[in-house]
Amino acid sequence: MQTPAPLEEYVRATSVADAIAQLEKYGEDARLVAGGHSLIPMMRLRLARPEALIDINDLDELKSIKVEGNEIVIGAMVRHREVLDSPLLFEHYPIFRECEKVIADPVVRNRGTVGGSYCQADPSEDLSALGSALRGSVVIQNSTGTRTVPMREFHFGPYMTQVGDGEILTEVRFPIRPGAGSAYEKVERRVGDWAVTSVGTFVVVKNGVVEDCGIGLAAVGAEHFCVPAAEEFLIGKAPTEENLVQAATLAAEGCNPSSDQRGPADYKKHLAKELTLRALRRSVQSSQGA
């Protein structure tokens, strides 16, 4: 039987400011718990041993999906199921629905949160690939104020992010790109598993030329879940099959996967190329200017 180590304190935060105050009170031995679907398994395995848990499930201020100016803003406490079901997100980026549909399973999606997924920073996290592809940003708050960090600077490495002690990720933001097409491709061993490899892309085609694009890859050791060289190659070129193949080849070359129980490294590289190509093709097809 797996049971977490004894916890000194369990407290419910009543506001973001209160959550920060509680984090400061308990210091580095405190952890926020949202959906708990990463933290509690880690606590049961004693990989994580916080002394205080600060429950942020009551923070309604972090539960909205909205448009602010030219950005989509998703609160940290928004559950995976709400992202999957959101007509607003689907309207701007079909990638949200495609990506969420392959994250965990329906029951887990009822609990798991957007903020939790980003802060857990699993190297196979699908939302991290999506966030990097769309060049989103995260907002981090502490007792002195807030700062906005681009997704492509958010990770120090696997499971390590810019969110420090006494800080909370409050929302993630994505630029709206009119006419963008987007798609998500994932290969997993079985429903609900982490990716063997997954790739998300968006493409904006204007006048027969790729005006902008983004490619995000999870589980293949791409730094910050992206390979900018592949994007730079494609921007300004016609979205021909030949150019898409070349971009996908560059994306795969920029990955550094490890062999593990989900597959050998060369297979994951193969998938990185193939899935990038498939996602790019569909993004181009659904871009309104194509």
Note the residues at the interface with another protein (CB under 8 A). Answer: 1-10, 12, 28-29, 31, 33, 36-37, 40-41, 43-51, 53, 55, 57, 104-108, 110-111, 191-192
Cβ atoms of 10 and 33 closer than 8 Å: no
Cβ atoms of 169 and 118 closer than 8 Å: yes
Cβ atoms of 186 and 279 closer than 8 Å: no
Closest CB 37 distance from another protein, rounded Å:
6
Strand 65-68 relative to strand 52-55, pairing: unpaired
73 forms beta bridges with: 66, 173
Nearest to 199 by CA among 99, 112, 101: 99
Element (H, E) at 9: strand 9-12
Which C-beta is closer to another protein: that of 16 or that of 108?
108
| C-alpha pair distances (Å), 2 with each of 12, 52, 169, 194 | 24, 19, 29, 22
> What is residue 113's DSSP assignment?
B
Which C-beta is closer to another protein: that of 20 or that of 53?
53
Which C-beta is closer to another protein: that of 41 or that of 264?
41
Residue for token pair 């630029």: 175
Which C-beta is closer to another protein: that of 7 or that of 238?
7
**Alpha-carbon distance 65 to 91, whole Å?**
13
Closest CB 46 distance from another protein, rounded Å:
4
Which C-beta is closer to another protein: that of 25 or that of 206?
25
Strand 137-142 relative to strand 71-75, pairing: unpaired
Closest CB 32 distance from another protein, rounded Å:
12
| C-alpha pair distances (Å), 14 with each of 17, 18, 52, 76 | 8, 6, 16, 15
Closest CB 111 distance from another protein, rounded Å:
5
Which C-beta is closer to another protein: that of 53 or that of 133?
53
**Alpha-carbon distance 49 to 53, whole Å?**
10
Which C-beta is closer to another protein: that of 71 or that of 188?
188
